[in-house]
Amino acid sequence: MLKLSQSSYWQELQALALTHGETHLRDLFAEDAGRFQNYSLRVQNILFDYSKNCLTDEVMEALFGLAGDMDLQGAIERMYRGAKINTTEGRAVLHTALRNRSNAPVFVDEINVMEQINQELANMRQFVDKVRSGEWLGYSGKRITDVVNIGIGGSNLGPKMVTQALSAYADNNIRVHFISNVDGVEVAEVLRPLNPEQVLFVVASKTFTTSETMTNAQTARNWLMASAFDERAVKNHFVAVSTNVEAVAEFGIDTEHMFTMWDWVGGRYSIWSAIGLPIALYLGFDQFEDLLTGAHDMDRHFRDQPMASNAPVILALVGIWNSLLHGAQCQVILPYDQPLKSFTAYIQQADMESNGKHVDQTGNRVSYPTAPVVWGQLGIDGQHAFYQLLHQGNVIVPADFIGSVESSTPVRGHHENLMANFFAQTEALMNGIGAGQVREQLQAQGLDDKQIEDLLPHKVHEGNRPSNTLLLDRVDPRTLGALIALYEHKIFSQGVIWDICSFDQWGVELGKTLAQGILAEINGHSTNAHDSSTNGLIDYFKSQRS
């Protein structure tokens, strides 16, 4: 396989980026009445419009050529077939198998993992049905009303995002809560209003060693004991999701009440495994299966569709093009759908933890930007916060706008208002408003020539700011599953093209290790083993504590 810099398409794209430096999106739309039709496609209840990016057929051809040179199709096959593409950890990467509704066998080390997956799904269903039906009781004989997920990163963001996104589909049988932060404020806030007799804790940690999660789980256990005064209550109120049987048992959770996952499930791709248990408890298992089905539909699309009509591949290529053309190192994700309020945070981990790497697969420093800084929040709130910079700032930030044709909770007049803003923003970013038009507006307001010339540069919007629009039919389990998988495969495709290992996360380890040593210093003697700033800060913190 070629190195990226050896691909003639990569060189062609760099040349095209120079040629297109002056091209304005406005002109591309004026030249081609069919631009929207040509640069949009519909996949699994999602309309994907990428026409508001500075692309031409020539650019698209070169991007597809680049994906071919980097053997994207081969890499997709290797992932789906269970090859150990997480090269630095020697692991397969099989979140696609977790939602493989076709049940076609998938082998890792000659074992068909579909058997294990199906067994675990059956265990989950049985447990979920017991809890939701009231058959599973707390230590005092009362039914479970509240599920508290204790986990962080991939063991928190996905279940939290999805339960928020699909709350319109919940029957209020069970409430869900999330504790991720080791800041005691969170555990106190979540637990204070709850009745320990009716709470089920799901301790979710692939490794079962993550210190934030273990600290929170221990506090939750103490909280339960303060009410139950009986160790046996742990059995009724704690279940675990992990790969680490010994640690789960040592914590005191009955391993019969442990749901497993496997080393080929990455934390940030684990929502489809038993890490999704809070989703199933909240919505019922059938709805969880719909989420899996939606993702599986997208998996089939990604594997089978030719590149020119392959949504995740195009989304990835558009991102790569924008980083070349505009030097864009940011990507803002802007949901215009209240249920998707945590979607950006979820994709932020998936993207930045996967592709935030500076060396290629062979360990050489790369000469091109890799993962963008992914950020954002609900678009409508962002309009009144940071959109000024998106429209007139001195940096180009490619934007993904995500909205729905139907609101999951229709309230008269609201959705139309929301979506009017949604469409207006992508138009404004693309078109901008030129000096001529601004001048006319100011003249119509009766300003004199001097006033107009003074104001003009402040009011001109250059436009030409790229965006994608993803318009869902509605946020339902199946569509949400497809949307998440769309982004997962985008991230995968970019990692393949940038020739990086998207499935490790060594960059988060260093801080974790240092924190362990510093915790010992906070609780005991300072070692002064750090630089003067870190030593000084630790000493100051200790000396100021009452």
Footprint of ligand F6P on this chain (CB under 6 A)?
Answer: 151-155, 205-207, 210, 213, 267-268, 353, 505, 508
Q: How far is the CB of 155 from ligand F6P (least distance, A)?
A: 4
Q: How far is the CB of 268 from ligand F6P (least distance, A)?
A: 5
Tokens 């790497």, located at residue: 357
Nearer to ligand F6P, 50 or 269 (CB): 269
Nearer to ligand F6P, 268 or 490 (CB): 268
Nearer to ligand F6P, 343 or 422 (CB): 343
Q: How far apart are CA 152 and CA 267, in angstroms?
A: 10
Tokens 């998988």, located at residue: 485
CA atoms within 13 A on the CB side of 267: 21
Nearer to ligand F6P, 349 or 407 (CB): 349
Asked whether the beta carbons of 238 and 273 are under 8 A apart, the reply is no
Catalytic hit among 31, 110, 384, 458: 384
Residue nearest to ligand F6P (CB): 267
Would residue 384 show up in a list of annotated catalytic residues for this protein? yes
Q: How far is the CB of 332 from ligand F6P (least distance, A)?
A: 22
What are the strands, taking DSSP E only, across 101-152?
107-108, 111-112, 146-150
Nearer to ligand F6P, 464 or 505 (CB): 505
Q: How far apart are CA 309 and CA 459, in angstroms?
A: 39
Closest by Cα among 391, 411, 392, 415 to 336: 415
Asked whether the beta carbons of 360 and 366 are under 8 A apart, the reply is yes
Q: How far is the CB of 340 from ligand F6P (least distance, A)?
A: 20
Nearer to ligand F6P, 395 or 508 (CB): 508
Sign of CA dihedral 153, 154, 156, 158: positive
Asked whether the beta carbons of 398 and 490 are under 8 A apart, the reply is no
Q: How far is the CB of 509 from ligand F6P (least distance, A)?
A: 8
Q: How far is the CB of 73 from ligand F6P (least distance, A)?
A: 28
Report which DSSP code applies to 391.
Answer: H
Catalytic hit among 130, 358, 414, 512: 512
Asked whether the beta carbons of 345 and 157 are under 8 A apart, the reply is yes
Q: How far apart are CA 480 and CA 294, in angstroms?
A: 7
Asked whether the beta carbons of 253 and 224 are under 8 A apart, the reply is no
Tokens 């044709």, located at residue: 405
Is residue 404 within a helix (H) or strand (E), and if so which, with residue range? strand 399-404
Catalytic hit among 353, 357, 488, 490: 353
Residues with a known catalytic role: 353, 384, 512
